[in-house]
Amino acid sequence: MEPRSLILDMDVGVDDSVAILYLAARPDVRIAAVGSVHGNVEAPLAAENARRVLELCGLDDVPAATGCWRPMAQELATAGWVHGEDGLGNTNQPPPRRGPSGEHAVAQLIRLAHERPGIYEVVATGPLTNLGTALVMDRELPRLIRSVTIMGGSADGVGNAAPFGEANIWHDPEAAELVFNAGWPITMVGLDVTMVTRLEEPELAAIAAAATPQARFATAILQHYLGVYAKSFGGRRICPLHDPLAAGIAADPTLVTSALDAEVHVSRDGETRGMTMIDRRPKYMEAEGRRGPFTRVALQVDSQRFVDDLVGRLTRPLPGRPD
């Protein structure tokens, strides 16, 4: 079978980086390009981090373009306190060998979609400003992209960046509303499933004991992130796998064991701004004026299978590499 061709759209970020490491180790996917976006860090630094991680994986030929620097209708806000000011847990990594690709991430997405219609699958693990902007610029885009998998939102309306707002949606609710309702096949991987899919002490120890470059890098960048999350987990070292799980589901949709096809809208008002609102009524209730577009909302996943797969891929040499 042909490998899936992925375009990654990310605010790279600690868990975005682990998602790249994971995908780079899957022979059944090909990372065609990365676009960066504001979010965890500013967009140029996110692109720089993408290049760092790609180069670590020997993917020097994959372009990493800088994308939108701010949300559509609110001020820029970054999350250095979660990901470190460098987005990589304040680990003082050397600069990447390559500079920016020179193309804007939105232009890159639109260009690739037209070059190979129906081929590319987008994995978006940051605020959705690039995708929303691309939709505003090009009405053909939804029929050119094969699928979109996003890490964002939550089915039960619980947030992390705000009481009801998951960070990626909360950083740009206007863009998220466009992306959920563009009419492309879209899967939402929200906090409900990412918060229960975790690396805990045994998995962290297995990764720390491994000699592969990707395991060493992951162990280094995770330390700061684990310290932040320890405050939510009673001092325990636990890493929720937000972006890696979305990457895993994009590569292997059978990881989702229960899902709902539902209309998803994003609150843009008041204290619920950034909340994903899922219409859980059955799809056939068109009398209520509901006709989609529908999002496949992941409700349950095979967390153990994914965690084992992730640990295996981080701790074994990359395919085609002897280390």
CA dihedral 249, 255, 259, 263 (to 10 degrees): 0
Asked if 15 touches ligand BDR (CB under 6 A), the answer is yes
The reply to whether 242 belongs to the active site is yes
DSSP-assigned letters across all residues of 257-305:
EEEEEEEEEE--SGGGTT-EEEE-S-TT-GGGT-----EEEEEEE-HHH
- Residues 6 or more apart whose CB falls under 8 angstroms from that of 102 comprise 65
CA gap 272, 76 in Å, rounded = 19
Peptide bond into 282 cis (omega under 30): no
x/- contact string, 81-100, with ligand BDR (CB under 6 A)? -x------------------
The footprint of Ca ion on residues 227-256 (CB under 5 A) is 243
Stretch that binds ligand BDR, among 10-18, 66-74, 181-189, 275-283 (CB under 6 A): 10-18
Q: Contact with Ca ion (CB under 5 A): which of 6, 8, 14, 16? A: 16
Stretch that binds ligand BDR, among 11-19, 88-96, 211-219, 296-304 (CB under 6 A): 11-19
Q: How far is the CB of 19 from ligand BDR (least distance, A)?
A: 9
Asked if 168 touches ligand BDR (CB under 6 A), the answer is yes
Asked if 79 touches ligand BDR (CB under 6 A), the answer is yes
Stretch that binds ligand BDR, among 8-16, 41-49, 268-276, 305-313 (CB under 6 A): 8-16
CA gap 96, 60 in Å, rounded = 10
Asked if 177 touches Ca ion (CB under 5 A), the answer is no
CA gap 171, 75 in Å, rounded = 9
CA gap 209, 311 in Å, rounded = 11
Asked if 125 touches Ca ion (CB under 5 A), the answer is yes
CA gap 307, 67 in Å, rounded = 30
Catalytic machinery residues: 242
Footprint on this chain of ligand BDR (rule: CB under 6 A): 13, 15-16, 40, 79, 82, 125, 151, 160, 166-168, 242-243
